Amino acid sequence: MNEPACQLYLISPLDVSGDFAQRLDRALAAGEGLATAFQFRVKGLDQHEAARLAAPLQDICAARDVAFIVNDDVALAKRLKADGVHLGQGDGSPKEAREILGREAQIGVTCHASRHLAMEAGDAGADYVAFGAFFPSETKASEHRPEPDLLEWWSGLFEIPCVAIGGITPANCGPLVAAGADFLAVSHAVWGGDEVEAVAAFRAAMGG
């Protein structure tokens, strides 16, 4: 099966307890071939508790051949032997993360609406750059509001994949896909309702 040109990058809600593991499994089953990465994003937990919550989710991702990426925390990513880490601008450099996590790790960097930050991340060895928030987000406030032409500019010049993030829904994602986003990072649009219906709606909207 050919992978679609643009894929889904699911980001966890902050609360991954309760039945979230089952929800993730359903979403990934519905998104087979389309949802190829999952970011574990929890805040304010110690490493032991975060690792306990991550374990079943990591197993589900492994079983479905989906990359398991830890948000912001290189030490936790190393402890979990995660597939990679996503770094905000205050979370250290991709170069340092690479030294800790090894050559195979997928390292992504938040670049907001900045071409300069994205080029710096690429030079430092990032495997992908993330731009956003393209739309007002239910998950995270952001004063950065790039236009889709930023994705067009990046994908026209660089081989490193770009991720679009921020308030993306099946109804508004079309221009981002058309502009060349390699991944759409989504959270509330999937977990805020029925995850299977949401993934199916993204598949239809993304031409997948």
> Do residues 122 and 177 make contact, with C-beta atoms less than 8 angstroms apart?
no
Number of domains in the chain: 1
Stretch 34-48: mean pLDDT, rounded? 96
Domain that holds residue 94: 7-205
Domain presence at residue 1: no
pLDDT reading at 1 higher than 60 = no
User: How does pLDDT run across 76-88, given as a tens digit for each residue?
Assistant: 999 999 999 999 9
Residue 144 has what pLDDT? 84
CATH number at residue 95: 3.20.20.70
Average pLDDT over all residues of the chain:
95
pLDDT reading at 72 higher than 70 = yes
The alpha carbon dihedral of 169, 60, 31, 97 has a sign of positive
Domain presence at residue 84: yes
Confidence (pTM): 0.96
> Do residues 186 and 205 make contact, with C-beta atoms less than 8 angstroms apart?
no
Residue 3 has what pLDDT? 57
Torsion over CA of 33, 31, 23 and 70, rounded to 10 degrees? 50
User: How does pLDDT run across 93-129, given as a tens digit for each residue?
Assistant: 999 999 999 999 999 999 999 999 999 999 999 999 9
Domain presence at residue 2: no
pLDDT reading at 142 higher than 80 = no
Residue 208 has what pLDDT? 64
